[in-house]
Structure 1
Amino acid sequence: MAGGQAAGRRPIPIVGLWRALGLTLASAVVWGVAHVAAGRRAVGFTLMAVLALLVAGSATLVLAFQDTMKQLVVQNTWLNVIIAAILALAVTWAAIVIWSYQVVRPPGLPAAMRVASTTLVVVLSVLICTPFVYAANTTYVLRDTLSKIFPGDDHTGPKIDAADPWKNMPRFNVLLMGGDGGKDRKGIRTDSMTVASIDTKTGNTVLISLPRNLQYFQMPARLRSIWPNGYRPVNATLGYDGMLNSVYLSGEKNPSLVPGFKQGQRGSHLLEEVIGNLIGMKINYYVLVNLDGFKDIVNAMGGVKVHIEKALPIGGEMVNGHYTKPPTGWLHAGTQHLNGEKALWYGRSRDADDDFHRMDRQKCLMKDIADQADPQKVVTHFEKLAKAATNTIYTNLPSTLLPPLIKLSGTVKGGSDITSLAFNPWKMQGFDPVSPNVALMRQLTTKSIADSENPHKPSPSPTTTVKKHKKKVKTGVTASPTASSGSGGSVSLKNVCG
């Protein structure tokens, strides 16, 4: 009798369960496999066709419309659409996996097996959703980062035409500043000041560097009642040492100098105005980089490879050519892969040479970082990079300019000429940082822009007057006419960086 009962029992469908789980796993890779196996061919092939269209469409967008996609992913509206689409795809994919299991699940499973198999399918669905959730979160971080960095106080800039953003802007001029300080920007000295002037049609770019120790220079007309004899400290309120790198501080500490702007914007706008007056150019926007946070960006990128011409000290203090405090280390000559801390010292060190060599190194460092930005590293370290950028970069660039700037940057990286104009007394006849000839600075800037716009037809060099006396400059070196090596025109950045 016992044997008869055993013979009458229904066998546990182990083989059928493993087959169902296998088909469910296959359906997680190729939609519709389980449905076709279950005889629901119409539904199964429809699911396969939908998946094929999704894959082909995504590949087409990535490969054929890269430039367009790059412009879309810096716009909040499209980022919201992308986030919603990613999450919808995740839910759809998980639902199809669960549906596939229900179609092929064998009947009559004992309760324990039914619970175990259902749990496995749910876990599989969660695993499938994980990369989509990560992608959606990364997109959200990108949107949040862009919103924080590019709020834009652009009411002083030219009016932007969305259909033709460069209509009223044949050249895009942006002041790039590097300074120390925390997020509240108190106490910042802008030791790095470069104007990037970009032709919005060709992408040809001129990088114009101004020395931090520029002194007694002519101020814009509206400020000459305060500084009638050139920029210098009038009192403890209006500045520190009277050099160009303290103009930012003067603006931040004195709202009356830059009316209409709030704390954190005044210094940058004042420096825009002052530098624009010196080189005879309207500066449209500014970007301020906190150099202490800059190292976090480099680290998030996995470091940067640079060519170092000679050994540079890390840390230490030098007075009159002698170390009063020895360096804590050295950057050795040759091609080196630098982490964030060492890259910062490569751009800041000046004890081994002077401010003017440092200006060249800073341009080369910017070029190296731009050239070596690896998309894979950017994606894998995106959250660290986004956090570092949010705490490091401050700008008044409006978010509406980001899409055309992305397009323009592709032109610049695609082979456009990048030239460098550095106001260096050793290489520029008639230029003295202690008492700069503003007319000469404007002439050389105009010439460099003209040469950039017509690279095959260089304009004639402006007439320069060489001063016959020697002046002691702030770096401890002596400017001399014999040190000049040319008229001071712009040169290719490739030549500057060797």
Structure 2
Amino acid sequence: MSVTAAPRSTARPRGRGLVEERPLRHPDTSSPEVMGRRGWWLVVLNFVLPGSAQVLAGNRRLGRFGLGATIVMWLLVLLTVLTALMWRPLLFSAASNWFVMLGLQVVIAFYALLWIVLTIDTLRLVKLVRAGTVARIGVPLLAILLAVASTTASVWAFDRVNSVRETLSTVFGSSGPSVPPSDGYYNILLLGADSGEGRDSMRFDSISVVSVNAETGATTITGIPRDMGHFPFAEGPMKDLYPDVHEGRIDATCGWGSGVNQLQTEVEVCRDGNALYPDAVANGSTPGVEATKDAAEGILGITIPYYVFIDMKGFADLVDALGGVDINVVERLPKGGGPQFEGQSAEDWAEGWIEAGQQHMDGDTAQWYARSRYTTSDFDRMRRQRELQQAILAQMTPQNVLDRFSEIADAGQVLVETDIPADLLPFLADIAMKAKEQPVTTIELTPENGIPERDTDFAYVRELVQNALHPATPTPAPEG
């Protein structure tokens, strides 16, 4: 009788096979080397692709949720980049929407919290007690460093979004309705003064109009002398008071001069400005600003729906936030408020000097460069203010703004008042990007440009502005 031997089984033990086929989920816990190597891998995978460590070695439901959130975040980043490249107005529109920015903050905060939870769970999966000495120390240290890096990035993004949201809420909190461009231009009245002197008696030290072509972004800045007097008004309440030209009034109780910068005193101190311009405050403006708009429209012959007021004290903060500005100083200028006693020279009262030559100015120096009025004329000061405006625009590069975004946003909140509506910001931001590629044209209404201080020919001024904004197209010479 023969006995046939049973065939020898070739199957591997079940536990051993799982260890060999799926070492991350079923590692050989008896090997410190294997457990250490597994720990390094899980920590790196959690950082590169949050959720993947759980899918491979832990709670798959949590891992799938983490992976899904990670994929969504990467899709949002990719969509943002594509929108910035192909549909910039849409991106600016989203960035100027308060609720969109708040929702983005919530998403960033939630994902940062999820990342921390996944990191803690990954350290649990590592089972450090089974790893070697080097891994037992190095793996948690690496996990902490990577967690700090990811959290720092999330805090940075959260802070940038929060700065945008707060700045929009503060600066563009109230305004009137948006209006289409006038004759192809967005015209904005740019005013500068020291708000700290008391808004009821403040006079605008700098008055100019920024005209931005709605299609090309070409920018023209027209400077109006603050003491320009006997000017006409555009249609409105002030035109009803002064059908021909503005006149000053000498009055011991409350008087004013005929200059443009006297309108703030006249309208808001000596007259009932709210009766003249009842909708001004509700639309984010003031009666004094609205009167100045009407004056600028009458002088230049263009429609000016919006204004931007720049506080000169906050102006220095903006320059510092941008990292300073570069200016070629053509004449030595004193810093300080002027002589305290009759007969004093600048050497006696100057707090310091801005020397001639190429200068990299901080905020304080730039402020004095714009404001210095002694040893120089108002027309020279207008030129310097225009130089600073262009220098600031030159510093507003995407890289510089991104690097110093929080500082710039914080400075903007205390620097600027405006009635530009928030829904117009996407278009203006897109135009500003185009404007960076073109030189800025300036028009100074000064005697050296044929505009006398007195007996100004305002018809000539309007013609000058129209020729700058709408230059004639040269007629091609006929062939032959």
Mapping for residues 10-409 of structure 1, pairs under 5 Å: 18-19=36-37, 21-31=39-49, 34=53, 38=57, 51=70, 54-55=73-74, 58-59=77-78, 61-62=80-81, 65-66=84-85, 67=88, 68-105=90-127, 125=147, 128-155=150-177, 158=179, 166=181, 170-182=184-196, 185-220=199-234, 222-223=237-238, 226-227=241-242, 230-235=246-251, 239-253=255-269, 254=271, 255=273, 256-262=275-281, 265-315=286-336, 317=338, 323=346, 325-409=348-432
In 1: Cα distance, 2:334 partner to 2:183 partner: 42
TM-score normalised by L of structure 1: 0.74
Report the Cα offset of residue 219 of structure 1: 4.2
Report the Cα offset of residue 357 of structure 1: 2.1
- Alpha carbons 2:32, 2:130 under 8 Å: kept: no
In 2: Cα distance, 1:245 partner to 1:69 partner: 39
How has the CA–CA distance of structure 1 residues 239 and 134 changed in structure 2, closer, same or farther, with 3 Å as cutoff? farther
Report the Cα offset of residue 330 of structure 1: 1.7
How has the CA–CA distance of structure 1 residues 213 and 76 changed in structure 2, closer, same or farther, with 3 Å as cutoff? same
Q: Which moved more, 1:183-192 or 1:203-212?
A: 183-192
- Alpha carbons 2:187, 2:304 under 8 Å: kept: yes
Report the Cα offset of residue 181 of structure 1: 1.5
How has the CA–CA distance of structure 1 residues 355 and 383 changed in structure 2, closer, same or farther, with 3 Å as cutoff? same
Question: Which SS does the other structure have where 1:151 is aligned?
Answer: coil
- Alpha carbons 2:53, 2:63 under 8 Å: kept: yes
- Alpha carbons 1:180, 1:187 under 8 Å: kept: no
- Alpha carbons 1:239, 1:246 under 8 Å: kept: no
Question: Which SS does the other structure have where 1:176 is aligned?
Answer: strand
How has the CA–CA distance of structure 1 residues 336 and 456 changed in structure 2, closer, same or farther, with 3 Å as cutoff? farther
In 2: Cα distance, 1:24 partner to 1:77 partner: 37
In 1: Cα distance, 2:255 partner to 2:285 partner: 16
Report the Cα offset of residue 261 of structure 1: 2.8
- Alpha carbons 1:237, 1:250 under 8 Å: kept: no
- Alpha carbons 2:326, 2:360 under 8 Å: kept: yes
Mapping for residues 421-460 of structure 1, pairs under 5 Å: 421-428=443-450, 431-451=451-471, 454=472
Question: Which SS does the other structure have where 2:447 is aligned?
Answer: coil
Give the total of aligned pairs: 432
Question: Which SS does the other structure have where 2:195 is aligned?
Answer: coil
Indicate the residue corresponding to 1:461 in structure 2. none
Report the Cα offset of residue 404 of structure 1: 0.8
Matched residues, percent identical? 26
- Alpha carbons 1:20, 1:101 under 8 Å: kept: no
Which amino acid in structure 1 is aligned with residue 326 of structure 2? Answer: K
Report the Cα offset of residue 92 of structure 1: 2.6
In 1: Cα distance, 2:259 partner to 2:118 partner: 67
- Alpha carbons 2:325, 2:360 under 8 Å: kept: yes
How has the CA–CA distance of structure 1 residues 411 and 340 changed in structure 2, closer, same or farther, with 3 Å as cutoff? same
In 2: Cα distance, 1:184 partner to 1:79 partner: 35
How has the CA–CA distance of structure 1 residues 229 and 193 changed in structure 2, closer, same or farther, with 3 Å as cutoff? closer
- Alpha carbons 1:13, 1:106 under 8 Å: kept: no
Report the Cα offset of residue 286 of structure 1: 0.4
The answer for unaligned runs of 5 or more in structure 1 is 1-10, 159-164, 459-498
Report the Cα offset of residue 187 of structure 1: 2.6
Root-mean-square deviation (CA, aligned residues, Å) is: 4.0
Report the Cα offset of residue 70 of structure 1: 3.9
In 2: Cα distance, 1:87 partner to 1:207 partner: 42
**1:8-36 deviation per Cα after TM superposition (whole angstroms, max 9, x unaligned):** xxx99876775565344313422266458
Question: Which SS does the other structure have where 1:391 is aligned?
Answer: helix
In 2: Cα distance, 1:24 partner to 1:70 partner: 39
The answer for unaligned runs of 5 or more in structure 2 is 1-28
In 2: Cα distance, 1:144 partner to 1:41 partner: 40
Question: Which SS does the other structure have where 1:275 is aligned?
Answer: helix
Report the Cα offset of residue 176 of structure 1: 0.5
In 2: Cα distance, 1:270 partner to 1:17 partner: 77
- Alpha carbons 2:320, 2:362 under 8 Å: kept: yes
Q: Which moved more, 1:192-201 or 1:56-65?
A: 56-65
Report the Cα offset of residue 333 of structure 1: 1.9
TM-score normalised by L of structure 2: 0.77
